[in-house]
């Protein structure tokens, strides 16, 4: 991991401590590295506001090394980059529903409930996701593609929540709103990248897809955030 990536990870952990989040690693999630990697690359992609986050920058600025050429990497992953921030978590997962067992897919619905637009605080969302993470480990394990998708999704959702909460509080704070705009935006972004992590883990039996699961999610979240 480069110095820039280490800074990104350190920043993520500092945000956890400062905002009272419980921290994904406490649940013992073996896929927690997906969320950590997501925040590290995302911190790099968002560091220069003059350039929109992109898959190209993931390689040229943030040190990601794809297996093939940069052009091949972009061509492979660009179709997976989200363009509609208004789809719910389950709507984004729907094309991959056949990859889950019924028990695994039940967690898709529960994750969507945790990411409800009616949530009153990021801490409330984090607690709900942490509880689901613990339950998923106990009930699903981490061996099947669907189970790994759920665990990767939960890790990325929690790390992404930690990253975007202070970012949007500073930009969209509205102390008079019953449901602050910044929290609604955070939920949309988290739902997007949590899906990216799930599908990346589900398709991980294909090495080409597995390689960029975390970085592609980081790039996607930056792009979606810029469009909101």
As a whole-number percent, the residues of the chain with pLDDT over 90 amount to 22
- Summarize the confidence of residues 73-91 as an average pLDDT: 80
What pLDDT band is residue 181 in, cutting at 50, 70 and 90?
confident
Alpha helices (runs of H) in the chain, residue ranges in sequence order: 3-19, 32-45, 55-60, 70-77, 89-93, 102-114, 122-140, 145-172, 181-202, 207-211, 213-227
Instruction: Enter the tokens of residue 59.
Output: 């390689």
pLDDT tens by residue, 89-128: 899 889 889 989 999 999 999 999 999 888 888 999 999 9
**Please, what sign has the CA dihedral across residues 110, 41, 26, 181?**
negative
pLDDT 10s digits, 111-122: 999 998 888 889
pLDDT at 225: 61
Per-residue pLDDT at 154 exceeds 90:
yes
Closest CA to 193 of 227, 221, 151, 152: 221
pLDDT band at 6 (very low <50, low <70, confident <90, very high): very low
> What pTM value is reported for the model?
0.78
């Amino acid at each position: 991991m480069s110095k820039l990536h280490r800074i990104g990870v350190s920043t993520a952990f500092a945000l956890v401590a400062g905002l009272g989040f419980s921290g994904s690693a406490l649940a013992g999630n073996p896929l927690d590295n997906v969320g950590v990697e997501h925040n590290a690359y995302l911190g790099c992609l968002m560091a220069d506001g003059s350039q929109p986050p992109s898959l190209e920058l993931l390689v040229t600025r943030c040190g990601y090394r794809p297996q093939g050429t940069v052009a091949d990497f972009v061509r492979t992953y660009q179709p997976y980059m989200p363009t509609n921030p208004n789809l719910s978590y389950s709507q984004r997962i729907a094309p991959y529903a056949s990859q889950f067992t019924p028990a695994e897919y039940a967690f898709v619905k529960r994750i969507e409930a945790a990411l409800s637009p009616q949530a009153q605080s990021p801490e409330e969302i984090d607690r709900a996701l942490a509880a689901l993470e613990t339950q998923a480990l106990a009930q699903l394990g981490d061996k099947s593609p669907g189970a790994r998708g759920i665990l990767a999704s939960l890790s990325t959702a929690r790390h992404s929540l930690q990253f975007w909460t202070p970012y949007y509080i500073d930009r969209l704070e509205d102390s008079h709103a019953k449901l602050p705009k910044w929290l609604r935006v955070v939920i949309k972004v988290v739902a997007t990248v949590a899906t990216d992590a799930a599908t990346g883990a589900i398709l991980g039996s294909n090495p080409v897809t597995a390689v960029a699961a975390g970085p592609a999610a980081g790039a996607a979240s930056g792009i979606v955030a810029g469009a909101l």
